[in-house]
Amino acid sequence: MNDTVKFVLDEERLPKYWYNVVADLPAPPPPALHPATHQPLGPDDLAALFPLSLIEQEMSAEREIEIPGPVRDLYRQWRPSPLYRARRLERELDTPARINFKYEGVSPAGSHKPNTAIPQAFYNKEAGIRRIATETGAGQWGSSLAFAGALFGIDVEVFMVRVSYQQKPYRRALMETWGATCTPSPSERTAAGRAILAQRPNHPGSLGIAISEAVEIAVQRADTHYALGSVLNHVLLHQTVVGLEAIAQLELADDYPDIIVGCTGGGSNFAGIAFPFLGQQLRGGRTVRIIAVEPSACPTLTRGQYAYDYGDTAQLTPLTKMHTLGSTFTPPGFHAGGLRYHGMAPLVSHVQELGLIESRNYHQLACFEAGVLLARTEGILPAPEANHAVRGAIDEALRCKEEGVSRAILFNLCGHGHFDMQAYMDYFAGKLTDQTYDEGELAMALAGLPSVPGV
């Protein structure tokens, strides 16, 4: 009646290698470009920001990249993470679909972000780095890097989007408990921040601005590096541990997904669950429908332009070809703060251009409705970001019901919502609305995309 179906993987089966989808793609992704010269980026161009080992991963076309022993050791604190068959949800929906979900909320920071925070801290420690600067929106990435920094004895400085800093003091407290410092962005600490505050003293901040500040801090001192929690190739690479485990767990279940649903902001969660399956398909395995789900209020993949753009507002970062709403675009303040980014990971953008994935967008009310249904059937309360994936999976399950077909659906429940209860309170109080961006602002941001001759 109340069966729990959990597929547990022995610790020994924790993946020994991350999977790099670049090795299997029919065409290589366009190179990142130097912001000044517009020439393809070389390893030296990134040396002020990242250790060489991460730069190599960023540019690698190797299929498998070994997970260092100390990283696997630390992964083992919460990995392999469980994979559940959502039988109670299936019954509630009265669907013939088989819904499976991977659950990443079991990490100490409560999301999938430590999967990359741990190796990033490890490689920086190996390179003698003593301090890492980073940005965070809702705080999931910042708290994950704070966690990793505590374990490796690295100081972590987080620039937190000011509106989130004010709205989410508990995420900030979590970072501080792990010993990190947390500064509201834009701040007076950087030239980028000061320039913005001079124009608009109460600027609410954005991820693009916070990235500019963190990068500026990182390049100032030789003992300091920068870290990003999504978007980049090496970040997506680290997250493939999720999908690799899911493959092994579904083998135990004697099943294989027909459909994979992933929510996507910067793209690392989506890539983490989807790319290992995509790789099997590209190497001659079964074809999987892969659906990226994003917020309607920040529809990068579904409304953005595929173009070279900056990752940040101050245009300090390299240019990467991606689906973008323009680096000056400020998404409205909906609750899935982790999905509020103007761009999409270049690799995710590239596989969409290759026709290997679909994308769709949802408004937030429909996502919260799905999240509450998951909480009441499966007992796990998802983060607002994860609710997008839940919504997508439920819609596919309902389609199976309509069509009378049993398909296997897999999604990643990328984090719990214990730090997002204000959003649920607002939802229950009827205070939450479906937000939209300003079409004029989007047009202006897209018109401002950098012109990159010859590409």
By CB under 8 A, name the binding residues for its own copies: 1-4, 6, 8, 10-11, 70, 73-74, 76-77, 82, 84, 88, 106, 108, 110, 147, 150-152, 169-170, 173-174, 176-179, 372, 375-377, 379-381, 418-419, 421-422, 424-425, 428
Instruction: Provide φ and ψ at 91, rounded to 5°.
Output: -65, -40
Among residues 200, 235, 217, which one has the least CA distance to residue 159?
217
Nearest approach in angstroms of CB 92 to its own copies is 11
Closer to its own copies by CB, 344 or 380: give it: 380
Nearest approach in angstroms of CB 424 to its own copies is 5
Nearest approach in angstroms of CB 385 to its own copies is 16
Closer to its own copies by CB, 3 or 402: give it: 3
Query: What angle separates helix 114-126 from helix 52-59, to the nearest 10 degrees?
Result: 130
Among residues 184, 104, 175, which one has the least CA distance to residue 143?
175
Mapping DSSP to helix (H, G, I), strand (E, B) and coil, where does residue 96 land? coil
Closer to its own copies by CB, 211 or 381: give it: 381
Nearest approach in angstroms of CB 378 to its own copies is 8
Nearest approach in angstroms of CB 177 to its own copies is 5
Closer to its own copies by CB, 1 or 36: give it: 1
CB atoms within 10 A of CB 65: 20
Closer to its own copies by CB, 206 or 387: give it: 387
- Bridge partners (DSSP) of residue 160 are 136, 184
Q: For residues 298 and 245, what is the distance between their CA atoms, to the nearest angstrom?
A: 30
Q: For residues 240 and 273, what is the distance between their CA atoms, to the nearest angstrom?
A: 6
Closer to its own copies by CB, 281 or 377: give it: 377
Q: For 434, what's the count of Cα atoms within 13 Å in the CB-facing half-sphere? A: 10
Closer to its own copies by CB, 147 or 341: give it: 147
Nearest approach in angstroms of CB 393 to its own copies is 18
Closer to its own copies by CB, 421 or 455: give it: 421
Q: For residues 340 and 204, what is the distance between their CA atoms, to the nearest angstrom?
A: 13
Q: What is the dihedral of CA 433, 438, 442, 444, to 10 degrees?
A: -160
The single-letter DSSP state of residue 343 is B
Burial of 39 (0-12, 13-18, 19+ CB in 10 A): exposed
Mapping DSSP to helix (H, G, I), strand (E, B) and coil, where does residue 277 land? helix
Q: Is the peptide bond before 80 cis (omega within 30 degrees of 0)?
A: yes
Nearest approach in angstroms of CB 296 to its own copies is 23
Nearest approach in angstroms of CB 131 to its own copies is 16
Q: What single-letter amino acid sits at 44?
A: D
Q: For residues 232 and 422, what is the distance between their CA atoms, to the nearest angstrom?
A: 30
Closer to its own copies by CB, 42 or 169: give it: 169
Nearest approach in angstroms of CB 155 to its own copies is 12
Nearest approach in angstroms of CB 169 to its own copies is 7
The single-letter DSSP state of residue 287 is -
Nearest approach in angstroms of CB 156 to its own copies is 12
Closer to its own copies by CB, 147 or 310: give it: 147
Nearest approach in angstroms of CB 14 to its own copies is 11
Q: For residues 11 and 96, what is the distance between their CA atoms, to the nearest angstrom?
A: 32
Among residues 136, 137, 177, 182, which one has the least CA distance to residue 156?
182
Closer to its own copies by CB, 157 or 294: give it: 157
Q: For residues 419 and 76, what is the distance between their CA atoms, to the nearest angstrom?
A: 24
Closer to its own copies by CB, 168 or 342: give it: 168
Among residues 69, 12, 409, which one has the least CA distance to residue 250?
409
CB atoms within 10 A of CB 3: 8
- Are 127 and 46 contacting, i.e. CB atoms less than 8 angstroms apart? no
- Are 453 and 308 contacting, i.e. CB atoms less than 8 angstroms apart? no
Both tokens of residue 158?
Answer: 């987080």
